[in-house]
Amino acid sequence: MQIKLAVVAVLAVWIAGIACAATEKTACGATAQPRTGALIRVGHEPMDLGPAYRRYIGKVTALGGADEDGRIYSFQAMPVGPGVMAPAANELRGWRLTILAGKRFASAFEVKSNTATEITVAARDGPLNGLVISDVFIIEDIPAASPSPPEASSRMGT
């Protein structure tokens, strides 16, 4: 019985799709698109990001040494993913680093400096304490957002 209902439901959806494609407008007001049989790719980003939008995806392989107060501002990394190469020295300076896994998930930092295997973040964003080996991160060619001083926002009327 359930199989018969499923077949009827599939046929009803298929017939409704043919009827909508044959009309100029659908019931909800959107114009119908002709069926070409080809796949239509959708998503949040283009399939090929190209060189204009650069990023580096990596995994933490070791933590840097702590300062006298126990704060950590650097770590060793390795690239992760197809086509991801180790960056040149200071190529990532000023880019935004976002932690994608672990205790520091969604924490963002500005890259102060880098080598092919080591990343150092700016102290103004806070330490990396809580970061562990195997945490994943992304560094994007986007300026790290820094909070504006309170007097600047009050002058703007916000």
Count the residues in the chain.
158
Q: 109 phi and psi, to 5 degrees?
A: -140, 160
Integer angstrom CA distances of residue 81 from 56, 66, 84: 9, 29, 6
pLDDT at 53: 73
Integer angstrom CA distances of residue 39 from 36, 50, 122: 8, 22, 45
pLDDT at 83: 85
| Cβ atoms within 10 Å, residue 137 | 24
pLDDT at 35: 59
pLDDT along the chain (158 residues), means of 10: 57 55 48 59 52 85 96 96 91 95 94 97 95 95 62 41
pLDDT at 152: 38
pLDDT at 15: 61
Q: In the chain, which residues fall in CATH 2.40.10?
A: 55-143
pLDDT at 155: 39
Which CATH number is 55-143's, of 1.10.287, 3.40.720, 1.10.3470, 2.40.10? 2.40.10
Q: 76 phi and psi, to 5 degrees?
A: -90, 145
Could you give the CA distance from residue 124 to residue 126 in angstroms, rounded to a whole number?
5
Strand partners, 96: 110, 140
